[in-house]
Amino acid sequence: MNSQKNVLQGLAVREAMRRQVISLPAGAGVDQAIRYCTKYKVNALLVTGDRGKALGVVSKTDLMGAYYAGLPLETPLQAIMSGPPRFCRAEDSLDAALDVMRTHQVHRLYVEGEKGGKAAGVLAYPDIVGLLYRYCHQCDRSILRSGKKGKDLADHLTVREVMTPGVEAVAENAGLAQVMEVLAAARLAAVLVQDASGLPVGVASKTDLILAYLHGLSQETPARVVMNSPVQDCPQEEVLALAIQQMIFSDIHRLFIYKKDHRDIVGVLSLSDAARFRSGACRACLTSRIKV
């Protein structure tokens, strides 16, 4: 069972990193960055200078900030990027990479290429979850394979143990400016949208906000216009492995977690939560996981 313990120990960045780095030149406009984030499904872009040298990073948070600040869509990325990008090496351990991400509060590390200053890959939380998911799937205890669903689930972690408790919500008629303020203050990627009676009716994410920016919507536009519905949710007693599977398959970064029924949202499970947990999805991994 050794292979089931310390799932990240001994693994290198190269095993989880993506080799396709989505980038734009520093002079490209904010509108182009929004299109790239949408089309390539990334939360951030590398900003490059002469001969592809990595200069900075523009994230969806930066793009949302540009919207909030009322910057024109033609604003060049160099005006809003943060930099320089933080790098790691392909041979670094995943544990060390996660430590750097946590210490510096960044969501991704670029992987140094052979040519100095260029990125050969990128490592983000969802990539680490993807690797964990692969391990869980191969494990003897896996409930992820067909025909295994009737297994004893006692050893399996539940969503409740990993989720971030509590939830931020806005009213469906709240303006987009207010939604952005809530997202920024709580450092969240999405908020729950509620109707007048407090029932969850949708989710407004940074992706929805930057698309609103691209579409030229005013910041007074009500949240219900841009929200996604229905809310993607799951019960708090759901097995973690299945919740991760739902996110990976459905291409979503988070699930809202309910207690008794869909109206009673009590937390959020994001792929980042699962990655920070540094474990597979059952206690065989948990016994030796490293506290973060």
Partner 1 sequence: MGETAREVMDSIFFTLRPTQTIAEAVKLFKEASEASGRRVFGMIVVDEAGKLAGMLSVYDIFLLVRPKHTHIWGEMRDLDLSGLLEAACRRARNLRVGDIMTTEVITVAPDTHLLLVIDIMIKKHVRRLPVVEDGRVVGIVYLSQVFQHIQDKLMGR
Q: How many residues bind partner 1 (CB under 8 A)?
A: 24
Least CB distance to partner 1 at residue 133 (A): 6
Stretch that binds partner 1, among 77-85, 142-150, 160-168, 281-289 (CB under 8 A): 142-150
Rounded to the nearest whole angstrom, what is the least distance from the CB of residue 239 to partner 1 in the complex?
16
Candidates 115, 215, 259, 263; binder of partner 1 (CB under 8 A) is 215
CB of 235 to partner 1, least distance (A): 20
Counting contacts by CB under 8 A, is residue 232 touching partner 1?
A: no
Chosen residue from 214, 227, 240, 255 binding partner 1 by CB under 8 A:
214
145 binding partner 1? (CB under 8 A): yes
199 sits in the region (left: phi over 0; alpha: psi -120 to 50; else beta) called: beta
14 binds partner 1 (CB under 8 A): no
Cα separation, 31 vs 213, whole angstroms: 8
Of residues 111-140, those binding partner 1 (CB under 8 A): 126, 130-131, 133-134, 137
Asked if 161 and 240 touch (Cβ cutoff 8 Å), the reply is yes
- Binding flag, residue 151, partner 1 (CB under 8 A): no
Give the C-alpha separation, 49 to 78, whole Å: 9
Nearer to partner 1, 126 or 169 (CB): 126
What is the amino acid identity at position 72? P
* Candidate list 120, 184, 211, 242; residue touching partner 1; CB under 8 A: 211
Selected from 3, 173, 229, 250, the binder of partner 1 by CB under 8 A is 250
Edge to edge, the sheet with strand 233-235 lists: 164-165, 265-270, 254-258, 233-235
Q: Which stretch binds partner 1 (CB under 8 A): 47-55, 88-96, 248-256, 277-285?
A: 248-256
Per CB under 8 A, the list member of 2, 103, 146, 197 interacting with partner 1 is 146
Question: Which of 137, 160 has the CB closer to partner 1?
Answer: 137
Q: Which region, judged by CB under 8 A, interacts with partner 1, from 57-65, 141-149, 160-168, 232-240?
A: 141-149
Indicate whether 224 belongs to the interface with partner 1 (CB under 8 A): no
Structure tokens at 115: 């040519």
Measured between alpha carbons, how far is 75 from 1 in angstroms, rounded to an integer? Answer: 54
Count of CA atoms in the C-beta half-sphere (13 A) of 138: 10
Residue 248 binds partner 1, judged by CB under 8 A: yes
Asked whether position 78 contacts partner 1 by CB under 8 A, the answer is no
- 119 or 210: CB nearest partner 1: 210
Could you tell me which of 58, 60, 130 has the C-alpha nearest to residue 94?
130
Widest CA span in the chain: 57
Q: Interface with partner 1 by CB under 8 A: which residues?
A: 31-32, 34-35, 38-41, 126, 130-131, 133-134, 137, 144-146, 211, 214-215, 248-251
